[in-house]
Structure 1
Amino acid sequence: MVKYATDPVTMGPLNQLKAWIYGEDNLSLFGMAKGIEFWEFLNINPKYQKSFNEAMACDSKMINLALRSCGLVFEGLESIVDVGGGIGTTAKIISEAFPKLKCIVFDLPQVVENLLATNNLSFVGGDMFKSIPKAHAVLLKVHVYI
């Protein structure tokens, strides 16, 4: 497993922070330092992709605590799409807590291609910058990547 906080591949770009801030490139900090954008890097490095997905899943487990007292948020909804939902940790928690709610996990095809659907949980691969599956609500958690 990759430990992002100490891994030179993922943390090394921080050494280029000053050059990135004062530069005029349209690249991300990671792209400037590594010559390849973060998402492209993950796509060709399965070890990092797996570790990244696991890290995002751990973060998503916090939603379980919020659902205990915020069930009204989903009242009246028939469907929800979790954009950038990774391996579906958040959507699984929601779909189990609200079995009548249709949950769609939408992420890059290589992230969702081998994930198993359930009665009210499905996985769709695509590019959120081109289109997003239709639903009554959209869940989009924001994370900062270097």
Structure 2
Amino acid sequence: MNKADFESDLQQQLVALNREKQPERELWSGIELALVNSPDVVNKPKSGKIYALVAGVALIGLVSLLSFHTAQKHPNGSDLIASLSAQHQQQKQALLVQFQDQPALTSNWQEQVAELDKAELAIKAALKNEPNNMALLKLLQNVYQQQISLIERVHSPKWSQI
């Protein structure tokens, strides 16, 4: 059946449809009985309106308060970058102080750390344009973790630990 046949068939059925459908039984007596026996719906006490108004204002206040606290809990990208950098520098310096008396297994480990520092600067430059880019933030965190792992592996190899 194409669209034109369907439309014409539907139109014929709508024309043939009985417009006035009568209820199977008389309904007015039931409606009258319900109105007579029900409490006065029209004259409800005004305290219900006041309670509804107070509940609405409280709901708006609660939503506003929650959104304000949520906004405070989530730092923006720049704050997160600064926090990550400060935490990494503290951890890196603590490891370097801890391992300063131990000999390193390789002589070029400082060059590798310097390369990771260059990668860190490149990622931070990209983050200045897009401070909330999660992929760049994860990449920065990965570079930091690689530096920490490198320092730990160079100064305390697994074969010397029991």
TM-score by length of 1: 0.29
Structure whose residues are more often helix by fraction: 2
User: Looking at CA atoms only, which structure, 1 or 2, has the larger radius of gyration?
Assistant: 2
TM-score by length of 2: 0.27
Structure with greater contact order relative to length (CA < 8 Å, sep ≥ 6): 2
